[in-house]
Structure 1
Amino acid sequence: MRAVLVEKAEDGTTHARVTEIDEDMLPPGDVTVRVEYSTLNYKDGLVLGPGAGLVKTYPHVPGIDFTGTVEVSDDPRYSPGDKVILTGWRVGEIHWGGYAEKARVKADWLVPLPDGLTTRRAMEVGTAGLTSMLAVIALERQGMKKDQGDVLVTGATGGVGSVAVAILSNLGYEVTGVTGRPEQAQYLASLGAAKIVLRDKINKVIDRPLERETWAGCVDAVGGEMLARILGQMNYGASVAAIGLAGGQLVPASVVPFLLRAVNLLGIDSVHQPYANRVEAWKRVVTDLPFDKLEGMTVDATLDDLPRLGAEILQGKVRGRVVVDVNG
């Protein structure tokens, strides 16, 4: 079967290539899935390239999410012919992932494909969209409401940010998108962003720990100095859902926004979410994500495109979502 295989040379460099591998090379697992679609995420770019400590053993098959049809199952929850989704659980990092025509995984890592989704459409959503949905659910549970003001989305042209803009806008929130690429303003407007803020205007720490209350909520894919600045701009009692660290993992922030404005910082993990939370989030995706906008932010790729696209996503050159037709 065809797969993207990443190998490591003696000098420590890695190289990704499309090649034929034997099905016997697949790791142990309860369920064998004939993969139909996967996606490209920032983490996939790291695994296709330098590894960034995510991969423990080589050779390795990347792909942190996939959809497909169960071929063989040793678990009573799944039968041959069932359509399934996998996201998270460090598949594509520690465990072989979805950039192959077949995958063998633990049954606990799968969820059934919900009504209203095809396998391709589920990968238009992918880990990025699931993370966005989890962030919106968390913000709403923390009390975010439509009449409280604008909601900020940082890294808005990326996969997670794009879907977050589309979901929030569809739910009736006034959305402001942050981007470092002003030429993408029309793209963000097409997803439902009412306003655009350029990254340079918000990407620096200032001496004042508090600024004017501006945001009723925030989905932050950037972290670093930008997150520190945003915390001081949140409305009283508002929350930031932290879903990424494209701008750095260290946050030079003051505790003042937490103490004087009761601001909440919510960590969003999509890797180890419990099964029930995943099922809820996928059901919300079906009802809350406008799929016409999703199609407009999605491009198609094949396994042969992935070594190139992996490098491009690390350079910030990939917009929106990429759906990988594993059999294309």
Structure 2
Amino acid sequence: MFYDLNIPWTPTDPHLPRTLAFLDDLGYSVVALNHTISGKLPAILTSAIPDPPLPPKDLPRNRLEIKRRVTLVLTETYQNARLAELARAYDVLAVRPIDERSFQLACGSLDCDVISLDLTQRLPFFFKFKTLSEAVRSGKKLEICYSQALLGDSTARRNLISNATQLIRASRGRGLLISSEAKTALGCRGPWDVVNLAAVWGLGQERGVEAVSREARSVVVMARMKREGYRGVVDVVFGGEKPAGLVGEEKKNGEGKKGPGKVDVAGNGQKRKADVLGEEGAADGAEKPVSKREAKRRARVARDAAQNDSSIEAAKAGADTEALEKG
């Protein structure tokens, strides 16, 4: 399966149906529509991309799987506090640093899926292996977009080739993701053409195939685990709850009685008291079990009663002896 996780999306894009159909013909299985946010985040974070993004008649005939992605341009530090809320509204969360400080922050502490750089610009910093390895070790992917090298001007093409070569050399070919970022179908290329283009930039063929298949798939899977699982590790698929109709039938038939300490499945999930055992024991003629406190109290009462009886008997014996002496 081949992935293209960066297709720019706008609400009024007349070229989007044709672009998706062309990507489907090229052999891609999963495509992500990208919505870019720059500046202050809205108060209510919801997905701007509808689901489905297009009417059924405009979707590709092979039913191309379409994901929703958001790219946040890192301009201010206050945006980082709402990244988790923003990630829940989309399938993939990407950040785009603009300077060295934001790039180091994205590679380090920010919880994101993809680090996307505008490689058509002359970057004010150099890529370092230590910084990139920290991002790769935490599961983040570094994205290279190739459409500007095909449709851009000479300056953009020169900067993209230079930055992509430097990024491949500094990362040693690990943790890379190749996307198109094509606004029209003219900027899209087939998966094997992308692999050959990356080989020209210095990325090995095996790493190039992983950049459009396995690495991209890991982005989608890990993003889903973060949203639906617990800390990206545990995914609760089915908790074993009984259907409501089955529970109602058990109540009606008198089934599902529990002993002390058992969970009440038909009710609120709390522990039932031991009065059920008393009802069942009454039918069998058995006594209700005595608690430790009650047993101690009964022993103390019996001991006090025995002491009282012994004192009464001693008094009677003394009275009889005195009567005999007087007689």
- Range class of TM-score, shorter chain: under 0.3
Higher relative contact order (CA 8 A, sep 6+): 1
Q: Between Structure 1 and Structure 2, whose CA radius of gyration is higher?
A: 2
Under a length normalisation based on structure 2, what TM-score does the superposition of the two structures give? 0.23
